[in-house]
Amino acid sequence: MFQAVVRSRTPVVRFLSPRAGVLLETVRGRKSRTDPKAKSKAGRIKTPSPVDPVEMVVLKERFTEYNLIMRALRMEFKEEMLRKRYEEETGSLAEERAKQESEEHRSLMAWNDAENLRLRKIRRRQRTSLHWKIWMSGLKRRWTIRKTTTLPLIKRAKQKKGQCFNKGCRPIHWEETENYACLVTAAKTTLGILYTVTIVCFQREKVTCG
């Protein structure tokens, strides 16, 4: 313990010496208004310092000159500020500012149109993908439901080959439609070209041949 204290940078005397107390200094304060007048100043009469009349005239002239100069500077500054404000409101600066505002408005409108077009394309893509999914699910459901109702149409299609389901449709040849599986394969082969037409034909009215 003692070695640690001796090897430290702070001397031992600093730890052992008592702390110095706080020094208190007496300060003379000012006399309050309620205190009486001092005895040494009881008969004192305040007299102003003498003024030189020549110096007083010179000071008055300088004071008036200073007031004139400062008033002129203030009026010049005020005139400059009013001129700037007038130019900003109705002068050439107003025209430049109006041009800048119109250009900024035009650029913002162009950016807005481009953003609307981009969002419209995204919505259209999402809508088409959603319609495609709904159509595929509905197509599977229709083929499973219409299995029994479309069986008699195969015999009619055998008799009248090359005729269409409905007006405006592409004619489908039923040369290999011996059973229902052949009918499904024939519909799947033409699905990529006429899928919209077949949707309309199956949804709006009954499929009739002959």
pLDDT of residue 3: 46
Domain ranges of the chain: 53-90, 146-204
Handedness of CA 104, 105, 110, 112 (dihedral sign): positive
Among candidates 149, 131, 129, 127, which has minimal Cα distance to 139? 131
Query: In the chain, pLDDT over 70 holds for what percent of residues?
Result: 52
pLDDT of residue 59: 95
Q: Residue 11: what residue type? A: P
Q: What is the pTM of this model?
A: 0.28
Instruction: Look over the chain and give the mean of its residue pLDDT values, rounded to a whole number.
Output: 68
pLDDT of residue 85: 85
Among candidates 145, 147, 131, which has minimal Cα distance to 184? 147
Distance, CA of 198 to CA of 164 (rounded, Å):
11
The string of pLDDT tens digits covering residues 182-194 is 444 444 444 444 3
Mean pLDDT of 100-123: 93
pLDDT of residue 90: 78
Mean pLDDT of 68-96: 88
Query: In the chain, pLDDT over 90 holds for what percent of residues?
Result: 24
Position 105 pLDDT exceeds 50: yes
The string of pLDDT tens digits covering residues 121-155 is 988 888 777 767 776 676 655 554 444 444 455 54
Position 2 pLDDT exceeds 50: no
Q: Residue 132 phi/psi, 5° resolution?
A: -65, -40
Tokens of 136: 């595929």
pLDDT of residue 148: 43
The string of pLDDT tens digits covering residues 45-73 is 888 889 899 999 999 999 999 999 999 99
pLDDT of residue 14: 57
Residues present in the chain in total: 210
Mean pLDDT of 106-114: 94
Among candidates 201, 121, 119, 124, which has minimal Cα distance to 165? 201
